[in-house]
Structure 1
Amino acid sequence: MLTTSRFHLRMWPVWVSTGALLLLWLGCKWAYDDWFDDGYKYVAKAASLSATALMCWCVVLSARFRVMEDHFGGLDKVYQVHKRLGKALCLVIALHPAFLAAHRLPDPVAFLSYFTPALNPADSYSLGLYAGTAAMILLYALVGISLRLFMRYDQWKRLHELLGPVFVVVMVHVYLVHADVARYAPLRVTFWAMLLVSAASWVYIRFLYGRFGPRHAYEIERIESIGEVRELTLRPLGSPMNFKASQFVYLVIRKPSISPEPHPYSIASGYSLDGRFKLGIKEAGDHTRSLGRLKAGDRADVYGPYGRFSQPFFSRGMDCVFIGAGIGITPFIGMWHVALHTEERLRSLEMDALLKARHPELSGDWKAPRITLFYICKDRTEASFDDDILAQVASSPFGGQESARRAGYEYVLHESRQSGRFGVEHIERAVGERFAGRLFFLCGPTTMMESLCSQLLRCGVSPRDIIVEDFNLV
């Protein structure tokens, strides 16, 4: 099933760079007047070049570079592109050996014998073939297991990091076979530059990110547990992290009894000048359960912030509908806070240009959009952030829900056991049928978001006005 992120994936740099590589290859064939006698080889070579380009993109996209996040519209979109490229890579790479051996058909024995050549350590081409076969087998195993999340997150993450060694085996294969890449200087320089950039990206995220990434030192100031959700309030120990409402961070706990694996969690609060923020974490695996050992005063490293979910909220000036299900409510808490506290902003004279540029929500010059917030859960006992949402209303200049509703800020707790499955009919009850001119923000289970996106599209909502946070990687 396609994910809702299909509305916003900017894949064109991948296809343009891959196409440019293929055009360079064909240009070299023409310039060197070096054409194949076997027509099947054109498909085989095009597949190998395309597959290598896709693998390079997969490695670079996994390194959490800000420039990639800025272009693709958020780290969740980066990961969605990464996932799709991994699947496409498996399909494309299979064409390479198949078409290299296609001239042996229709003899099936001769065709299959191509894939089991005699190993000659003195023959670099033979070694290259074995390296290529090994890389393809490892790649299929890696992608197959990565798409079947039946293991713990830390095990899955360590397995996923094996893409680097697979990449090295591919480089060995390219070097040993002495094919077109070795013969044509322009292609050779471009190809190896691409490989080296990708290798450097893997080294960075695997070995250097922990020390040189966007790290901030924090301590756990307060811990609240409501059902299966644990709310952590963190206080900076040095320079505070500069974040926008709805962004997320990678949290690394510095405590021997808790795994130091970085895990992503959404910030469940608005920006404050003192740098404090809250995380909402649902118990869903070994690591999140181990956070029960946390105590106030424990140290943590926070990497980030990441995410561009709230960017349209701040920039497009349109009324908004927020729909958060379960722990998917957390990105909306900060934006809800920002919108409600419209009268508690700084005057422009009190803000320097940099702060005003980064945080329009702090400036009295920025006009908050009207919001209808839906919090979807099975019943009220699972609505762990209901108190936070209501407290924001009570502490705002509106002072209560009725005054906030009259001003255009409405909160609806949808209990599915009582009110049924959430759909556009529930949105219509709150906002009427005036869907045009509104932004719809969704975060929660993929099946729910897929269903709501389909319903909204049928109601005439533009895909551009549907914004999702989607970390489903299956």
Structure 2
Amino acid sequence: MALRQVAWVTLYLVLVLTPQALLFLGEVPPGRDFWWNFSMALGFAGMAMIGVQFALTARIRPMTAPFGVDIIYLFHRYLAWIALAIVAAHFGILWLWYEDRLGPTINPFEADWELTAGRAALVLFGLAVVTAEWRKLLRLEYGLWRYAHVVLAIFGFGAAVAHIIGIGYFTASPLNRTLWLLATLSWLLLLVWVRLLKPLKQTREPWRVVEVRPGRNDVWTIAIEPDGHAGLRRFLPGQFAWLTLRNSPFGLREHPFSIASAPEALPRLEFGIKELGDFTSRIGEVRPGDPAWIDAPYGVFSIDRQPEAEGLVAIVGGVGITPVMSMLRSLAARGDRRPVWLFYGNKGWDDVAYREELEALQGRLDLRLVHILEEPPEGWTGETGFVTQELLERHLPPAPRPRLHCFLCGPTPMTAAAERALRGMGVPTRSIQTEIFELA
């Protein structure tokens, strides 16, 4: 696994740095001073990074498998800021020291078209990054933001390519121009695969909602089954799917949800979806018989990837219980008697999703269930407050501990506190796995 991770990181660096090498193929423009050439290098590097961004969100299974889609999307998010900063630095250097090369005006009706294209690309990329980072603060509805993000990225990319070809610096030679056009074509083909061919494949494998069941803390169970096909062949307990309900898979209305059911329940899939946010606030409107589409499975958050673990620890909060429900249900179906410690944080007792099922699973598993409530009811004798090292030490076996693998899923403050507590207890980092709670 480590070798595969290194291989993919190396490939990323090759894809980003290759355009720099292409600059020196064929006829090289007459030399200029350091800052001019540095600015040009920044422009090409930023463009290469932006092009690779399309690949990072394409959900290419061989690439996501070593890391997990959540890590790849987090990587995409941070690299977007870095790429934007690099492109902005490219423009900033020219603005500060070579203003005469930017033309006499920034008025798009009077400036050279290739310069206007570059400025438009910078603005469009900036809007794409800012609206993605602060979507909730800007109160952008998820579906509207998805459309806007795709449009901004495509038009920004097109404007950047037009800028590079129009300026012609380093791309004037037929060889360099051909190589850049081929690179652009490969990025466009990737876009066609993600936005057209993959949704088309989904339309040929429709699913149908078969059950809609309300639960505590506004967590709804949505069950789907394949409609006229065999469905998923397999998935690992704890993995997730991109789910589209009632809308076309071409409509950019897909959302990532953990699969709550066990692989042993295939072909049926169940999702635990909390009534919260733009799409999920209307989850109760879904009805049996509604069409559904999935792109699955994804994720590395699974007990099946830790077969050597002698015991399992899950620290979850709220709806973060859903991937762990898949794991627990699978362990029960397999008759797996390894010890499991589940620390489940909620605001109140009535907010505990799957409460009765968890109690029943204690009779089928070697399960130690520890509820942690922020606002406990009168007479509560269990744990209260938040996850701390002292709390975990009261329930986990003393050191030296067996080979435990820890799964964390929930709000970021909770998982961050749990990570610190586990490390303070001497649990190695490789035995602590955190599922990123939100991808967008």
TM-score if structure 2 supplies the norm length?
A: 0.85
Which residue of 8, 20, 23 maps to 1:22?
20
% identity of equivalent residues: 24
- Equivalence for 2:339: 370
DSSP 3-state at the match of 1:220: strand
- Equivalence for 1:362: none
- Equivalence for 1:422: 387
Q: Partners of 2:338 and 2:170 in 1: how far apart?
A: 57
Within 5 Å, which residues of 2 pair with 1:11-410?
11-25=9-23, 27-28=24-25, 32=27, 34=29, 36-71=31-66, 73-104=67-98, 116=105, 126-149=112-135, 150-162=139-151, 163-183=153-173, 185=175, 187-213=176-202, 216-226=205-215, 227-237=217-227, 238-241=229-232, 242-254=234-246, 261-272=253-264, 274-310=266-302, 313-343=305-335, 369-394=338-363, 396=364, 404-405=365-366, 409-410=367-368
Preserved CA contact (<8 Å) 1:313 1:320: no
Q: Partners of 1:190 and 1:458 in 2: how far apart?
A: 52
Opposite residue 369 of structure 2, the aligned amino acid is Y
Q: CA deviation at 1:432?
A: 3.3
Q: CA deviation at 1:154?
A: 0.8
Q: CA deviation at 1:413?
A: 1.9
Q: Partners of 2:104 and 2:409 in 1: how far apart?
A: 47
- Equivalence for 1:468: 434
For 1:172-198, what per-residue CA distance to the aligned partner results, in whole angstroms no more than 9, with x for missing partners?
11121111133372x545433332222
Q: Partners of 2:266 and 2:428 in 1: how far apart?
A: 39
Relative contact order (C-alpha < 8 Å, sep 6+): which is higher? 1
DSSP 3-state at the match of 1:272: helix
Q: Partners of 1:244 and 1:337 in 2: how far apart?
A: 12
Change (3 A) 1:118 1:264: closer
Q: Partners of 1:272 and 1:417 in 2: how far apart?
A: 36
Preserved CA contact (<8 Å) 1:446 1:472: no
Q: CA deviation at 1:317?
A: 3.3
Q: Partners of 1:24 and 1:113 in 2: how far apart?
A: 24
Q: CA deviation at 1:33?
A: 6.0
Q: CA deviation at 1:433?
A: 4.1
Change (3 A) 1:287 1:37: closer
Q: CA deviation at 1:94?
A: 0.9
* 2:423 is the alignment partner of 1:457: yes
Q: Partners of 1:219 and 1:120 in 2: how far apart?
A: 52
Change (3 A) 1:426 1:194: farther
Q: CA deviation at 1:250?
A: 1.9
Q: Partners of 1:194 and 1:368 in 2: how far apart?
A: 53
DSSP 3-state at the match of 1:303: strand
Higher alpha-carbon deviation: 34-43 or 279-288: 34-43
Q: CA deviation at 1:292?
A: 1.6
Q: Partners of 1:69 and 1:291 in 2: how far apart?
A: 29
TM-score if structure 1 supplies the norm length?
A: 0.80
DSSP 3-state at the match of 1:269: coil
Opposite residue 375 of structure 2, the aligned amino acid is R
DSSP 3-state at the match of 2:267: coil
Preserved CA contact (<8 Å) 1:147 1:473: no
Q: Partners of 2:205 and 2:122 in 1: how far apart?
A: 39
**Gaps in structure 2 of 5+ consecutive residues:** 377-383
Change (3 A) 1:183 1:316: farther
Q: CA deviation at 1:441?
A: 1.1
Change (3 A) 1:222 1:33: closer
Higher alpha-carbon deviation: 165-174 or 265-274: 265-274
Preserved CA contact (<8 Å) 2:372 2:386: no
Preserved CA contact (<8 Å) 1:215 1:304: no
For 1:433-457, what per-residue CA distance to the aligned partner results, in whole angstroms no more than 9, with x for missing partners?
4367322211111122222223333
Preserved CA contact (<8 Å) 2:411 2:437: no
Superposed CA RMSD: 2.9
Q: Partners of 1:318 and 1:152 in 2: how far apart?
A: 44
Change (3 A) 1:151 1:191: same
For 1:385-434, what per-residue CA distance to the aligned partner results, in whole angstroms no more than 9, with x for missing partners?
2223223344x3xxxxxxx44xxx32222223241111222221111343
Change (3 A) 1:326 1:311: same
Change (3 A) 1:424 1:24: farther
